[in-house]
Amino acid sequence: MEPLKTELLVLGAGPGGYTAAFYAADKGKRVVLVDQDKRLGGVCLNRGCIPSKALLHATQVLRQAKAAKAHGLSFGAPQVNLDKLRAWKESVIDKLTQGLGTLAQKRSVTVLCGRGYFEDSHTLRVETEEGQKFVAYERAIIAVGSKPALPSAFDLGNKRIMTSTEALDIPDVPEKLLIVGGGYIGMELGTVYATLGSNVVLVEALGSILLGADSDLARPVMRYAESAFGEVRLNTKVLRMATSGKQRRRFIGAFILRLADGIRLLRVRGGAIRLNRCGRGAPHPTARGSAPRPGRPSIGPRGPARPHAYRRPPSDNG
């Protein structure tokens, strides 16, 4: 099959990839933008900033309605329809990703949907729904981003242990929710779930939340968490996570956490979100996809991307 020829290939259509693609097109380059997701926008639009802000907004309305009671305005108990909330959140994402599609079209950026694998330093194979396609490029920008990582000690193969991706889908509102990591993602999702009715327990290994944020900004968030969450434990590291055995019925399905702060055991019924303290769903962002190395024409295994080809970005881009 004749490859699609282009001056610039951009692999990954997140905020890094699509801005680079649009900028290059504006400068007169022929650009092909490849992403495995059907919707452009990467993690930020599909599984990150946008859905989390949409949910924060929706739950803020709930909090404001409750607070309005002090002003003499009572709205009664809120009725939360999770299906509708999810559908609304998806509609926000759809609108924004469609906007990106239009921006790409206006710039004549060719968008290919499929997972890309580098065949050599000038050829990308894209596994699309219609079959394999090849892109012959002069230069490439790799903007494959990061994905949530679950440390193996926490990966119990239990659906109730979620990363930010699953948590943003709000499969349900657990009675009790443990959040491991007090970065911005943990605080945001804790706020959403606490407002929807979960008793949130936040555990953070460091002595403060929102590492790297100005303490003037972190303080009001901490104050809010202390009032809205069931518990906030700083200087507390989760060492182990396990589902309990079946012998003791009342603990079936509960998580047992061994904590390093002297409390030892915390049994949590409900769900758990594992989030890193610096706020990314991925404590160790790994660039997925095989990357061409200078002077090595063919590095890509023909299967899915393998660890030897992973590249850790120089710094966290969250």
In the complex, what is the shortest distance from the CB of residue 39 to ligand FAD, in angstroms, rounded to a whole number?
A: 8
In contact, 17 and 143? CB cutoff 8 Å = yes
Nearer to ligand FAD, 109 or 266 (CB): 109
- Hunting for tokens 């607070």 — which residue is that? 67
- The CA distance from 67 to 119, in Å, is 58
Q: How far is the CB of 250 from ligand FAD (least distance, A)?
A: 33
- 266 versus 305: smaller Cβ distance to ligand FAD: 305
36 vs 236 by CB, closer to ligand FAD: 36
Q: Report phi then psi at 275, rounded to 5.
A: -135, 150
End-to-end CA distance of the chain: 39
Residues that bind ligand FAD (CB under 6 A): 11-17, 34-37, 42-44, 47-49, 52, 115-116, 143-146, 164, 185, 281, 288-289, 305, 317-318
Shortest spacing between CB 86 and ligand FAD, in angstroms: 15
d(CA 189, CA 163): 11
Tokens 């998806």 belong to residue: 90
| Nearest residue relative to ligand FAD (C-beta) | 145
Q: Which is nearer to ligand FAD, 245 or 314 (CB)?
A: 314
Query: Between residues 44 and 180, which has the closer beta carbon with respect to ligand FAD?
Result: 44
For Cα atoms 155, 14, 56, give the angle at the middle one, nearest 5 degrees. Answer: 65
Cβ at position 52, least distance to ligand FAD in Å: 4
Minimum distance from CB of 258 to ligand FAD (Å)? Answer: 27
| CA atoms of 139 and 8, how far apart (whole Å) | 5
How far is it, in rounded angstroms, from Cα 318 to Cα 314? 12
CB of 84 to ligand FAD, least distance (A): 21
Cα pseudo-dihedral 207, 209, 213, 215, rounded to 10: -60
* 37 vs 119, beta carbon nearer ligand FAD: 37
